[in-house]
Amino acid sequence: MSTRASTLAGRVMSAPSIIALFLWMIVPLGMTIYFSFLRYNLLSPGMEEWIGFVNYKFFLTDHAFFASLANTLILVGSVLVMTVIGGILLGLMLDQPIFGRGILRILVISPFFIMPTVNALVWKNLLMNPVSGFFAWISTSLGLQPIDWFTHAPLTAIIIMVAWQWLPFATLILLTALQSLDRDQKEAAQMDGAGPVSIFFYITLPHLSRAITVVILIETIFLLSVFAEIFVTTGGGPGLSTTNIAFLVYTQALLQYDVGGASAGGIVAVILANIVAIFLVRLIGKNLDA
């Protein structure tokens, strides 16, 4: 692609898909922004009128907003910590020449193929159910009081479910990164007198930094909008204890029929996601250079 003609041809040929993608993005965004400035409630059709920033004022001063913002950040942060640390440990284990490694790898990857709603139902009904669940059975077998997860530790329960769902992704990315670590480097460190722990912290972990960055960035994008797990299990409750921003927007739009307010919430969520993205890219994105 060196001549002027070929550069031009390249631009012309990629233009249709770029234009289509741009419209795909800008039309919904534009409509959402437009709706967010309207009084637009499905219960009173035909009464739409321009009200400026009132929807934003209501959304941002609602105590539900701050509760759900906190829940979102706790959820994202906890799941990131659990999946990155768990992913490194599982990756290290699966990188060892252990018996049945092939089957074990498939087993570890499989949660990622299960859709979030099914995942949530399995956890809710088979594992965490306080009467018939597996955890309850363990607790009663040990003579302990079973935990009623979705009543007493609802957010923790959601975090565990989502972490289980995303652990395979982290493991997969980190395992491939581990496999690309030069064996000579480990041996050189061994000759230099580094034990297994030193080798991990001085050689392996720096080698993984780029893969960890990728895991954090990609997971954050998806974890900001966790919805199915909450919808299927707790429905955002008890109270607001498991409502995140995505779920709050949903309740606004489809439970209170307030399209204007939900649109304002959606725009706030977009802005928040962008703040988090800029923050993350500046904080750890430099690992992706070089």
Partner 1 sequence: MGAIRLENVKKTFGNIDVIPGVDLEINDGEFVVFVGPSGCGKSTLLRLIAGLEDVTAGKILINDVDMVNESPAKRGLSMVFQSYALYPHMTVYNNIAFGLKMAGEPKAVIDEKVRNAAGILNLTDYLERRPGALSGGQRQRVAIGRAIVRNPAAFLFDEPLSNLDASLRVNMRLEITGLHQELKTTMIYVTHDQVEAMTMADKIVVLQAGRVEQVGKPMDLYAKPANKFVAGFIGSPKMNFIEGDYARARNCACVGVRPEHLLLSTEQGEIAATVKIAEHLGAETYLHVNADNIGPMTVRATGEVPLSGNDRVWLTPDPERIHRFDASGNAISN
Q: Does 290 bind partner 1 (CB under 8 A)?
A: yes
Q: Which of 28, 110, 115, 187 touches partner 1 (CB under 8 A)? A: 187
Choice between 45 and 195, CB closer to partner 1: 195
State the angle between helix axes of 63-95 and 101-109 in degrees (0 to 180), rounded to the nearest 10: 170
End-to-end CA distance of the chain: 24
Nearest CA to 107 among 93, 123, 117?
Answer: 93
Choice between 89 and 182, CB closer to partner 1: 182
Q: Give min distance, CB of 195 to partner 1, in A.
A: 8
Q: Which of 10, 28, 77, 206 touches partner 1 (CB under 8 A)? A: 206
Q: And the tokens for 82?
A: 């659990």
Query: Which residues lie below 8 Å from residue 21, measured CB to CB, with a gap of 6+?
Result: none
Q: Which of 188, 271, 278, 288 touches partner 1 (CB under 8 A)? A: 188
Q: Does 190 bind partner 1 (CB under 8 A)?
A: yes
Q: Does 198 bind partner 1 (CB under 8 A)?
A: yes
Q: And the tokens for 79?
A: 């799941």
3-state secondary structure at position 63: helix
Beta bridge partners of 38: 50
From 2-10, 82-90, 191-199, 269-277, give the range in contact with partner 1 by CB under 8 A. 191-199
Nearest CA to 76 among 177, 233, 215?
Answer: 215
Q: Give min distance, CB of 83 to partner 1, in A.
A: 23
**Cα distances (Å, whole numbers) of residue 6 to 10, 16, 86, 95, 151:** 6, 17, 48, 46, 64
Q: Give min distance, CB of 182 to partner 1, in A.
A: 6
Q: Does 192 bind partner 1 (CB under 8 A)?
A: yes
Number of residues that bind partner 1 (CB under 8 A): 18
The binding site for partner 1 (CB under 8 A) comprises: 182, 184-185, 187-194, 198, 202-203, 206-207, 209, 290
